[in-house]
Chain A
Amino acid sequence: DQQVKQNSPSLSVQEGRISILNCDYTNSMFDYFLWYKKYPAEGPTFLISISSIKDKNEDGRFTVFLNKSAKHLSLHIVPSQPGDSAVYFCAAKKYSGYSTLTFGKGTMLLVSP
């Protein structure tokens, strides 16, 4: 049972425009959400996170929005740059238990000049 879903395997955007990556979750026990970026042949790097007590968190060009009632979060990248081309993973942590993360399958973002 996939608890964190990224339904778009890929997304293409032009440089300078907004990129919106989406993530849905099914487990109400998730209380913390993270986005990671991964280039080929490298490990994922942490990008931005949000606690379930907030609905928005911003860091430079990156903003994450959380809609708890819809169990949906999104990552906005504005403006998109070619260097943003990578696979983006959404991850979630459960409220109790160990601090393990459940990852989505990822969305490949391609930003063209």
Chain B
Amino acid sequence: DVKVTQSSRYLVKRTGEKVFLECVQDMDHENMFWYRQDPGLGLRLIYFSYDVKMKEKGDIPEGYSVSREKKERFSLILESASTNQTSMYLCASSAVGGRYEQYFGPGTRLTVT
């Protein structure tokens, strides 16, 4: 059974802080993704990675960066948190080829005050 875990379920940070969100998957998936979910906006892709040390921008990368040093771990970094980054952050992973399903973690509810 695929398992994607995220380091925190709830996080409260102050404006200007550097924030790290960690994601780990245990199914040896090549692809990993970071989304944010906001009411009325659905899931929007921030960044994704298709291999170790490789990354690609998604639809809304501004204000974010990512790191993938190991295959199972994908980190999302908010260099200087702002209140408009208050959101639910979801990590997902998927295998190459196959049926293209992405498996999601439980999410991190980040509040920036």
Chain B window 76-111, contacts with chain A (Cβ cutoff 8 Å), 1 for yes, 0 for no: 000000000000001010101001111111110100
- A43 and B40 form a contact (CB under 8 A): no
Contact A44:B42 (CB < 8 A) given known A34-B100, A34-B101, A93-B100: no
Nearest-Cβ distance from residue A57 to partner chain B, whole angstroms:
11
How does the 8 Å CB contact mask read for A89-113 relative to B, with 1 for contact and 0 for none? 1000100001111011110000000
Which residues on the A side are within 8 Å of B94 (C-beta)? 99
B42/A100 in contact, CB under 8 A: no
- Total A-B pairs, Cβ < 8 A: 57
Q: How far, in whole Å, are A9 and B4 apart by their CA atoms in the complex?
A: 28
Residues of A within 8 A of B (CB): 6, 9, 32, 34, 36, 41-46, 49, 89, 93, 98-101, 103-106
